[in-house]
Amino acid sequence: MTSINHIPFATRLQPAVQGGGFAMEDYWVWCGSAIQGEDGRYHLFVARWPKVYKFLPGYQSYSEIVRAVADTPEGPYTFAEVVLGDRGAAYWDGRMTHNPTVIRWNGRYLLFYIGTTFDGPKPTAEELLAGPDMYPWYRSISIGVAESESILGPWRRPARPLLTARPGHWDATVVTNPSPCVTADGRLLLYYRTYIPDVGCKLGLAIYHDLTADPEWRSDAPLIDGDNMTLEDPCVFRIDDHYEMIAKDLNGQTTGELNAGAHLLSPDGINWELAPIRKAYSRDVLWSDGQLRHMGSFERPQLLLQDGHPTHLFAAMADGPGQWQQMNKTWNVVIPLGKGESDGDM
Q: Where are the beta strands (DSSP E) in 3-141?
A: 27-36, 42-50, 64-70, 78-84, 96-105, 108-116
Band (71; pLDDT cuts 50, 70, 90): very high
Classify residue 24: in a domain, yes or no: yes
Q: What does the alpha-carbon distance between residue 58 and residue 48 come to, in Å, rounded to a whole number?
A: 10
Q: Is 67 within a domain?
A: yes
Residue 256 has φ and ψ, to the nearest 5°, of: 90, 5
Omega of the bond prior to 301 within 30 degrees of 0, cis?
no
* Structural domain count, the chain: 1
Cβ atoms of 54 and 128 closer than 8 Å: yes
Which helix (H) or strand (E) is 313 found in, with range?
A: strand 309-318
User: Please, which residues have CB within 8 angstroms of residue 264's CB and are 6 or more apart in sequence?
Assistant: 224, 244, 245, 246, 247, 272, 273, 274, 275, 278
pLDDT, tens digit (0-9, with 9 covering 90-100), for 117-146: 999 999 999 999 988 888 999 999 999 999
pLDDT digits (tens, 9 = 90+) for 310-331: 999 999 999 976 666 678 899 9
d(CA 29, CA 63): 9
Beta bridge partner(s), residue 111? 102, 146
Question: CA–CA separation, 264 vs 272, rounded Å?
Answer: 6
Share of the chain above pLDDT 90, in %: 90
Q: Is the pLDDT of residue 346 over 60?
A: no
In DSSP notation, 144-179 reads EEEEESSTT---B--SS-SB---TTSTT-S--EEEE
Tell me: pLDDT of 344 over 50.
Answer: no
Greatest C-alpha distance within the chain: 57
pLDDT at 133: 86
Check whether 274 has a pLDDT greater than 70. Answer: yes
- 3-class DSSP state of 23: coil
Give per-residue pLDDT as tens, 180-207: 999 999 999 999 999 999 899 999 999 9
Question: b/e for 231-246, b at 16 or more Cβ within 10 A?
Answer: bbbbbbbbeeebbbbb
Query: What are the tens digits of pLDDT across the range 9-42?
Result: 999 999 999 999 999 999 999 999 999 999 999 9
Cα–Cα distance for residue pair 316/330, rounded to 1 Å:
7
Return the pLDDT at 301: 98
What percent of the chain has a predicted confidence (pLDDT) above 70? 97
Mean pLDDT of all residues in 237-262: 96
The answer to the question of residue 340 being in a domain is no
| Amino acid letter for position 102 | V
pLDDT band at residue 343 under the 50/70/90 scheme: low
pLDDT-derived band at 345 (thresholds 50, 70, 90) equals very low
Report if residue 341 sits inside a domain.
no
> How confident is the model over 95-113, as a mean pLDDT?
97
Between CA 292 and CA 304 the distance in angstroms is 24
In the predicted structure, residue 4 carries a pLDDT above the cut 80: yes
Query: pLDDT class for 340, splitting at 50, 70, 90?
Result: confident
Average pLDDT score over residue span 252-278? 97
Say which residues have a Cβ less than 8 Å from residue 188's Cβ, sequence separation at least 6.
105, 180, 181, 182, 207, 208, 209, 211
Give bridge partners of residue 243 from the DSSP assignment: 238, 266
- Cα–Cα distance between 285 and 291 in angstroms, integer? 8
Q: What is the pLDDT of residue 323?
A: 65
The range of the structural domain enclosing residue 75 comes to 9-334
Domain-embedded: residue 344:
no
For the whole model, what pTM was predicted? 0.96
Q: Is residue 3 part of a domain?
A: no
Q: What pLDDT, on a 0 to 100 scale, did the predictor assign at position 322? A: 65
Calculate mean pLDDT across residues 228-233. 94
**CATH number of the domain that residue 22 is part of:** 2.115.10.20
Residue 345 domain flag: no
On whether residue 308 sits in a domain, the answer given is yes
| Alpha-helical regions (H) of 8-108 | 55-62
